Structure 1
């Protein structure tokens, strides 16, 4: 059966057209808000997020106004595409429009679509936060796959309590059933319910020397009893 989808987001941000383009169409820019490590070169966008390492072909490139890339269609029909349209305003702000579209095959698409939709909401809100608070800056992406979780309600409660001590004064900029996003002066700290069971940390750090090993230890210590 399968499921085709398309979703559109649009917002005006207090960033220049050039800063918005850098954020959506360069490897260091995408590293600063999306997930994992990214490269944009030779007509392709490459992502490395744990074992997930897709390569997308760039299908529209009109700097600094229009950028689109997609996964190509697999034999079962699966694909995903991201399209960005950028328009400057007279008073120095920029309107950004993002369209996400694709197809999920099979009769069991609903759970995957829910996870994709909830995760996508976090990525969009992180991009918006980045363009409001860190435009033009480059973050270090930190990705950690933590313990497998059996009771997600308990895990989120435990994580909230631990983060109140680890990141005092952090601003919560996004939360839904599968994700949490916090912002400090140093960066953006995000936690996701992994589709196959682990708690994932996917942070963007602009200053300081914290490492993936630091966050691996934090997740293992905080949520290890959930294994």
Structure 2
């Protein structure tokens, strides 16, 4: 039996309403901080597409007020499940913006796990959005995704990831982070996102590196979702290098 839900989030962003709109209501903007690949049909009643992992989902634009309000939702499935998202943009003084997010719909039988995954996921992705509009406004990224199912318990996984970046002890924002991958330039940045035990992030001058643990009840998958803003990024090469890295990461 389906379970109705509503999830609300709010974040203040160091960007103008116009910059925030470009980030949340255009395909290239969304792809620069969110997962998968999104195409937006810019009109009320338009059809959006979201593609990830070989699957594509369509949604209908339910609200289109440039600079103010953007909403969309999927059609109900055979079991009645569906998802709707609405963003409200509120301009503030000194060029900042408050973004209000409401996600609602009907979840399936495993609704508690799904809801918790969405709640944690939005914490990371809104953190991505904040970093994107602050440090990379108007730029568009190449995405890199890699996965390691059955990675283990969160504490074990984060100790391994932090150790690979040269971080010992507690993971805190602002800590220096360095990593070398075969075939890619050295990575030197700072920890800029901490939501343990669910997620962890590093920012450099030209990238956002993001790591997410799915949770033990969702397969203990270590998910990598990076956004690379360099002008000469070889996306395929970077994806191979990161998949090799996460596959070989010592987790014992």
2:94 alignment partner, SS class:
coil
1:169 alignment partner, SS class:
strand
**Does residue 247 of structure 2 align to residue 220 of structure 1?**
yes
Which residue does 1:199 correspond to in 2? 222
Q: CA deviation at 1:90?
A: 4.8
Q: CA deviation at 1:147?
A: 4.5
Which residue does 2:202 correspond to in 1? 182
Distance 1:17 1:57 in 2: 23
CA displacement 1:52-109 (0-9 Å, x = unmatched): 4321111111112111011222222211111111233353222221111122122x32
1:64 alignment partner, SS class:
coil
Distance 1:90 1:114 in 2: 34
Distance 2:134 2:3 in 1: 34
Match of 2:192 among 149, 169, 172: 172
- TM-score normalised over the length of structure 2: 0.80
**Does residue 75 of structure 2 align to residue 75 of structure 1?**
no
**Does residue 40 of structure 2 align to residue 37 of structure 1?**
no
2:160 alignment partner, SS class:
helix
Which residue does 1:209 correspond to in 2? 233
Decide whether the 8 Å contact of 1:147 with 1:220 is kept in 2: no
Residues 100 and 176 of structure 1, relative CA distance in 2, 3 Å threshold: farther
Which residue does 1:132 correspond to in 2? 134
Distance 1:72 1:131 in 2: 31
CA displacement 1:15-63 (0-9 Å, x = unmatched): 1222111100001000011102211137122222214432111111111
Distance 2:162 2:223 in 1: 14
Distance 1:156 1:92 in 2: 36
Q: CA deviation at 1:209?
A: 2.6
1:54 alignment partner, SS class:
strand
Which residue does 2:92 correspond to in 1? 89
Which residue does 1:6 correspond to in 2? 6
Count of aligned pairs: 224
Unaligned runs of 5+ in 1: none
Distance 1:94 1:117 in 2: 22
Q: CA deviation at 1:7?
A: 2.1
- TM-score normalised over the length of structure 1: 0.88
